[in-house]
Structure 1
């Protein structure tokens, strides 16, 4: 049987679900156009992967895109976890969905809509994330289009971002365990393969009415069980663990909210913790009955292969990444502050002792201190972090070579300040290597 819908438009093509679905449909022979604000270089594998300011588009822009691409189905995978610097849950979930529905209605050919939402009853929605997701569902239900709302559970995929990466990191940690209230929370998972298979099924069969399907395994599963299966995967399931107190997660969430203001996307934020405490539940029976898809079990999703060294390194380093960046920011800012305010005379004295012209001692001391602090500030902001790290490496090399030429005795001073600059450079190289999120 030839597919009912052959030309597919995937919105949010750089995300966990959107990327996987697009690649899966292409392998199945569908013509897929993806749209995202930005792709990593490794993600943009086709001329049909379009970069555009998707949130700034109008309904007319979206209509033109669908007409130009002859799109027969639109898969909307757009979503953000929390309001903050550069993100607005209402704009992404509710307002954009309204524009998309208007755009679909304006096309001359019928266009199917598949919308990715979240499980849960409307009465349990307590966050801006969940409330605006539900607003979008109501808009779609009232639109009178052929549409399907998919509500995946906790998505397990080869890639891991955000919450899924956090679960793996916790499982790879040999000594920490979830707080008891989270460990027992119902947390139904779904394999990203099953999400992609469902969308492929809709491409084959279509949907002339409106359906809402929960996508998840049928058997009850808790968050603690998900972590335990990943522990088996990583080989860390033996040994004693300390159960983390709940307040520690709340503190980490507050710190995550603060860091998000610098345009980073930490996995531990207030909304993430609130959604974890709500749990992930639903009724997959209508989905299974309609499509005939037998959802994979948690054991099949996680333990169908052994962990590779790439899996282990990523999980172990995931929680170290924020520590590395925070330590580098503090290193540069604090060292500049100390030289400028605490030990100014000592810092200036080093230059005077090595016969620098007196007129240059003050400007050089102040200038290098300000440069150090500026380097820390650059590293702190996500958009400038790479530039700050590169500049920090160059500045450190400059200090080392400058000292070798002008003040070689500093290389053998008792505390080894210049000798320790080498490991700092290596740490900045590690931070550069870990900077990507996609």
Structure 2
């Protein structure tokens, strides 16, 4: 096989990571670039952390030249505008600079761009319209290119929406009937990589693939209900009785997800995600199948080849519970501090006075611990500082327990067991700390 060099942009994502690793296994030289890579994702010297979206065209041109790139695979994308996320900047502005850099590189480079299926007339979200604008820029560039429009991607890993569907399959909960009936054609991630590998092996002058757009998905129609049902067979939950979620709860969850995104969390349920879900996933893979000879795997073949392991089941069950854990911890620390400071200040201070605490320290300690509790809640609420907040919460709780053992030991046998209950709270914070990673 020709030792061609492929540059994968967005190598930390669901598609990008799998593409990077699989193409290397096929014998290609692959440089995987992402803004941030986890330690586990830096398995090669060619896994590169770069502020890729802030690079200008000249810097991108240098990157292409340094690695002698033959094929660029652009897997970059963001779901929704928000702090640190700009759909137009990622999907349109960056693609414009990338096209310029390819043109200025003086090299014969093929661009493989990951987009979304569907008709432009149905685009309603900023995510969809900016993705479509990128397609228009690429089509007008004259650069050899292939636009791939995968359906719902089924992969061994799961982030965002793919993780949410697995979570639904693990519980006896259905989406509202209208959403369950939407077309939702899936594609195995192995088929996406097979298409990219097939393209990478083509000569740059091959006119048949110089300017094409393909839908990548199984040919057989299937609905959202069918997708979730297949995962339920894998999880062993297919026979469970189920309750349909009311539509207002889906919309409310999306609004809460929007709020969480402003705190830095990658919430899978946001208004854009629900809008795209209601639009459905459909397309015509016949052109892709005819050109490449690839026979797309059906969902049954894809999920059936990877039966649910205990790891899969734990992940699916805990995925939605994770949000509940963090929300409860934030509420716990904020409310406990607020009550002690503003609602029951006299009672809180009275506990210290009743146990002969130095009077000069009663007010400072009561106020200080209350503010500390609320600060811990705020730290946990923001994704960037959540780990600091959880560690602070664990040490603060241990401090309360040991301090009470020394200064007010009788509180340990208090009928409601307030101090005894601190132990499970510490364990929950430790669990939250272990679940903090997204990738």
TM exceeds 0.5? Answer: yes
2:364 corresponds to 1:363: yes
- What 5-or-longer segments of structure 2 have no aligned partner? none
CA distance in 2: counterparts of 1:252 and 1:46, whole angstroms: 39
Q: Which residue of 2 aligns with 1:111?
A: 109
CA distance in 1: counterparts of 2:382 and 2:183, whole angstroms: 36
Q: Given the two structures, how large is their TM-score scaled by the length of structure 2?
A: 0.98
Q: Could you tell me whether the CA contact under 8 Å between 1:147 and 1:207 is conserved in 2? A: no
Q: Which residue of 1 aligns with 2:131?
A: 133
2:129 corresponds to 1:163: no
Per-residue CA deviations over 1:127-158 (Å, capped at 9, x if unaligned) read: 00000000000000000010000000000000
CA distance in 1: counterparts of 2:369 and 2:203, whole angstroms: 65
Per-residue CA deviations over 1:203-224 (Å, capped at 9, x if unaligned) read: 1114542110000000101110
Per-residue CA deviations over 1:346-400 (Å, capped at 9, x if unaligned) read: 1111111222221111000000000000000000000000000001001101111
Q: Given the two structures, how large is their TM-score scaled by the length of structure 1?
A: 0.98
- Aligned length in residues: 435
Q: Which residue of 1 aligns with 2:24?
A: 26
From 174, 177, 180, the counterpart of 1:177: 174
SS at match of 2:113: strand
2:282 corresponds to 1:253: no
2:320 corresponds to 1:353: no
CA distance in 2: counterparts of 1:210 and 1:87, whole angstroms: 30
CA distance in 1: counterparts of 2:21 and 2:350, whole angstroms: 62
Q: Could you tell me whether the CA contact under 8 Å between 2:184 and 2:223 is conserved in 1? A: yes
Q: Could you tell me whether the CA contact under 8 Å between 1:217 and 1:295 is conserved in 2? A: yes
Q: Could you tell me whether the CA contact under 8 Å between 2:181 and 2:224 is conserved in 1? A: yes
Per-residue CA deviations over 1:255-283 (Å, capped at 9, x if unaligned) read: 11111100101100000000000000111
Per-residue CA deviations over 1:273-329 (Å, capped at 9, x if unaligned) read: 000000001110000011110000010011223210000000000110000000000
Alignment of 1:9-48 (within 5 A): 9-48=7-46
SS at match of 1:75: strand
Q: Could you tell me whether the CA contact under 8 Å between 1:400 and 1:418 is conserved in 2? A: yes
- What 5-or-longer segments of structure 1 have no aligned partner? none
2:193 corresponds to 1:196: yes
| Alignment RMSD | 0.9
Q: Could you tell me whether the CA contact under 8 Å between 1:112 and 1:206 is conserved in 2? A: no
Give how far 1:182 is off.
0.9
Q: Which residue of 2 aligns with 1:87?
A: 85
